[in-house]
Amino acid sequence: MIPLAWMLGLSAIVFVIGVVGVLVRRNALIIFMSIELMLNAANLAFVAFAREAKSLDGQIFVFFVMTVAAAEVAVGLAIIVNVFRLKETVYVDEINLLKG
Amino acid sequence: MAAIWSNPDFQFVLWAMVKIVVILFTMLTVVSYMIYAERKIAGHMQARVGPNRVGPLGLLQPAADVAKLFFKEEFTPEGANKVVFTIAPMMAVIPALVTFSVIPFGPQDAFRVTDVNVGLLVFLAMSSLGVYAITLGGWSSNNKYALLGGLRSSAQMISYELAMGLSCIPVLLFAGSLSLMEITRMQGHWWFVATPFGMLAFMIFMITALAETNRAPFDLPEAEAELVAGFHTEYSSMKFGLFFLGEFANVITISCIAVVLFLGGWNGPWLPEALKFLWFFAKLGVLLFFFIWIRWTFPRLRYDQLMNLGWKVLLPVALGNILLTSAYLWWRAQG
Amino acid sequence: MTPALFIAFGAMLVIASLMVILHRNPVTSALFLVVAFCSLAAIYLLLHAEFLAMVQVIVYAGAIMVLFLFVVMYLNLKHDVEHGIHLALRRGTGWILGGVLLAESLWFFGHRWAAGPLAPEEALATAGNTEAIGRVLYTRYLFPFEITSMLLLVAMVGAVVIAKGRGPHVERGRPPQGAPGAPAAPADRQETA
């Protein structure tokens, strides 16, 4: 009863908010959170299409996306913690050792 | 105007609201009288009488407690994050109360708010959200003792959440459904605690429930002698009252879930269908007494002993229990 | 009633996501992200994906965001300080690009699917959402399932190894004196609690 266009529109809006977050913010943790927003927007699109096609494949994919996102967050945060230990900052434009 | 009353959506919402209000107020009364029961039982276990001044036998003590907390000075420590400081106690109470919406107190529709077909997962989700209250409360107080207590407690809660979830799985295997109503119906003849797997799962669930609700012997994070008062050091008046209420509401929620999963819910002999909820409350009372009894009997566990127990003992035992249960069910399906 | 609830939770999701990227304090951003995840779980419930809704709350709001909060508290970040013309230019470009992407995607989705037939409320068979997912997950998608468990194991080991540092003499905290990039302050650091 909810039109597919609405759900896709919502997914697009949240995805774009995530993209803007990655582009605009300097704090690595906020960038990470914006990436999670993008993943969740994609999940919403998957569930919407799963309902549209009356198949469960979309929901299975969401399940795997959630699992992979959890693994990615764990490793990513460990890396951020390590970088913080070394450089005392989480701002991505101050981590520029490779800059020529 | 009459059209609104015959609108099925509106009727559905209204009926749900009535059930929510009734069940919520009933359980809030149970929470406040559990505080009274704890003090009375603690008193008798310590060879003294407990509260008996306010009202006959001290029965109005919870009202006196609330009034006292209400009139204390409400302050926020300097340098604390004010918004998070205010939100943390709310996060302690809300998940516990939300779980009451999926618990079936009786067989008929009037005795439960709803019957989601993932009821058990709702409970696990709400207990996951309960970690926030302690983490945020401890951090936002701008106080080292609170921070240490908050971090210890949230690490404890996260560790025992795993064993708790795993200990619910044998029940799920036996019942074949996540819906709490369905699980209760399947226990019409024998309760799950009567099987060896169910008994082991019940014991693991109760131990992890003690750790999840930060009750003794797992209450090091709020131990007065060790960490001032742990994560709620800086809280006063109604914010502390909410943490206090949240702790007891959590205990009651977990006991209700234990009754539904292991002790047969509202099943019991002799009573007619409409009165079966009395069986539920009787079993709930026994479990609450058990929680209080344990608190005033055992000494506290040290933090590393606590984490050892959660990760190295309970988690493997719960996993082993799942394996044994599935093996048993497969063998039973063969022959 | 379902479309009204969808609009309400959708609005909550959008507002919470905006506050995530706009707020200066990382802890507040993390809390708004929790709100966003919970409203997304409510939307999944409206789409008859109950199992996914609860797994969303348990995994995302209950575990991943707790991890985020721990890291934010450990790093003890203050409010983000943002200034400078380069920063303003970059931020402006980011917002403009985001707006262009949004307009493009909304035009595309609205144009293509707005006039299509609505999916009727299909009556799921006697099996609930969980059982149906379980059936498919353990038969057709068994291999990805097992691989995902390996992935989680690798991630667990990897996170512990990375966060721990290296060697038996791992110095937690600041690099030793004299190492490049080490701060020059004396050893009164050890006295802070």
Residue C14 lies in a domain: yes
pLDDT at C182: 44
- Contact present, B and C (at least 3 Cβ pairs less than 8 Å): yes
> Is there a contact between C130 and B122 if contact means CB atoms under 8 Å apart?
no
pLDDT at A99: 78
Complex ipTM over 0.90: yes
> Is there a contact between A32 and C102 if contact means CB atoms under 8 Å apart?
no
pLDDT at C130: 82
Q: What is the mean pLDDT of residues C74-86?
A: 70
pLDDT in tens, chain B (335 residues): 667 777 888 888 898 899 999 998 998 889 888 988 988 999 999 998 888 888 888 788 888 888 888 888 887 887 777 888 888 888 889 999 999 999 999 888 888 888 888 899 999 999 999 898 888 888 888 777 788 888 888 889 999 999 999 999 999 999 888 899 989 998 888 888 888 999 999 999 999 999 998 887 887 776 655 656 667 777 777 888 888 888 899 999 999 999 999 998 888 888 888 888 899 999 999 999 999 999 889 888 888 888 999 999 999 999 999 999 999 999 999 87
Write b or e for each residue in B78-105: b if 16 or more Cβ atoms lie within 10 A of its Cβ, otherwise e.
eebbeebbebbbebbbbbbbbbbbbbbb
Identify whether the C-beta of residue B157 lies closer than 8 Å to the C-beta of residue B131.
Answer: yes
DSSP-derived secondary structure for C174-192: SPPTTSTT-----GGGGG-
Q: Total domain count for chain C? A: 1
- Contact present, B and A (at least 3 Cβ pairs less than 8 Å): no
Which is more confidently placed, C81 or B241? B241
- Distance from the Cα of C12 to chain A's closest Cα (Å) equals 11
pLDDT at C191: 42
Which is more confidently placed, B156 or A52? B156
Cα–Cα distance, B170 to C192 (Å, whole number): 48
CB contacts of A73 in chain C (<8 Å) are: 64, 67-68
Say whether residue B8 is in contact with chain C using an 8 A CB cutoff: no
Identify whether the C-beta of residue A49 lies closer than 8 Å to the C-beta of residue C119.
Answer: no
Out of A4, A16, A74, closest to residue C113 by CB: A4
> Is there a contact between A86 and C155 if contact means CB atoms under 8 Å apart?
no
Say whether residue B156 is in contact with chain C using an 8 A CB cutoff: no
Q: By residue range, what is the domain housing residue C22?
A: 1-79
Please tell me the pTM assigned to this model: 0.88
> Is there a contact between A82 and C162 if contact means CB atoms under 8 Å apart?
yes
> Is there a contact between B132 and C57 if contact means CB atoms under 8 Å apart?
no
- Distance from the Cα of A97 to chain C's closest Cα (Å) equals 11
Say whether residue B128 is in contact with chain C using an 8 A CB cutoff: yes
pLDDT at C189: 43
Cα–Cα distance, B128 to C63 (Å, whole number): 7
**Distance, CA of B21 to chain centre:** 19
- Contact present, C and A (at least 3 Cβ pairs less than 8 Å): yes
3-state helix, strand, coil in chain A (%, to 5): 80, 0, 15
- Distance from the Cα of C91 to chain B's closest Cα (Å) equals 28
Collapse the DSSP code of A91 into the 3-class scheme (helix H, G, I; strand E, B; otherwise coil) and give the result.
strand
Nearest CA in chain C to B154: C66
CA angle B171, B173, B178 (to 5 degrees): 70
> Is there a contact between C98 and A19 if contact means CB atoms under 8 Å apart?
yes
Cβ neighbours of residue A57 closer than 8 Å, sequence gap 6 or more = A50, C136
CB contacts of C160 in chain A (<8 Å) are: 78
DSSP-derived secondary structure for B76-128: --TTS-HHHHHHHHHHHHHHHHHHTTT---SSSGGG-S---TTHHHHHHHHHH
Q: What φ, ψ does residue C118 adopt, rounded to 5°?
A: -80, 145
pLDDT in tens, C173-191: 555 555 454 444 444 444 4
Q: What is the mean pLDDT of chain C?
A: 79
Say whether residue B81 is in contact with chain C using an 8 A CB cutoff: yes
- Distance from the Cα of A38 to chain C's closest Cα (Å) equals 10
Q: Could you say which DSSP state residue B55 is in?
A: S
Residue C130 lies in a domain: no
- Distance from the Cα of C139 to chain A's closest Cα (Å) equals 12
Assign residue C10 the CATH number of its domain.
Answer: 1.20.120.1200
Residue C9 lies in a domain: yes
Cβ neighbours of C192 (radius 10 Å): 5
Nearest CA in chain C to B91: C31
User: A89 falls in which pLDDT band (50, 70, 90)?
Assistant: confident
Q: For residue A19, list its beta bridge partners.
A: none
pLDDT at C93: 86
Assess whether pLDDT exceeds 60 at residue C192: no
CA angle A81, C159, A88 (to 5 degrees): 10
Assess whether pLDDT exceeds 80 at residue C86: no
- Distance from the Cα of C51 to chain B's closest Cα (Å) equals 7
Tokens coding B139: 């951090």
> Is there a contact between C158 and A29 if contact means CB atoms under 8 Å apart?
no
Which is more confidently placed, B282 or C168? B282
Q: For residue A91, list its beta bridge partners.
A: A27
Cα–Cα distance, B127 to B136 (Å, whole number): 15
Out of A36, A47, A75, closest to residue C49 by CB: A47
One-letter amino acid at B50 equals G
CATH number belonging to domain A4-89: 1.10.287.3510
DSSP-derived secondary structure for B210-275: HHHTT-TTS-GGG-HHHHTTGGGTT--HHHHHHHHHHHHHHHHHHHHHHHHHTS-TT--SS--GGG
Cβ neighbours of B146 (radius 10 Å): 26
pLDDT at C169: 54
pLDDT at C10: 95
Assess whether pLDDT exceeds 60 at residue C153: yes
- Distance from the Cα of C187 to chain A's closest Cα (Å) equals 17
pLDDT at A77: 92
Assess whether pLDDT exceeds 70 at residue C72: yes
Say whether residue C73 is in contact with chain B using an 8 A CB cutoff: yes
CB contacts of C61 in chain B (<8 Å) are: 125, 128-129
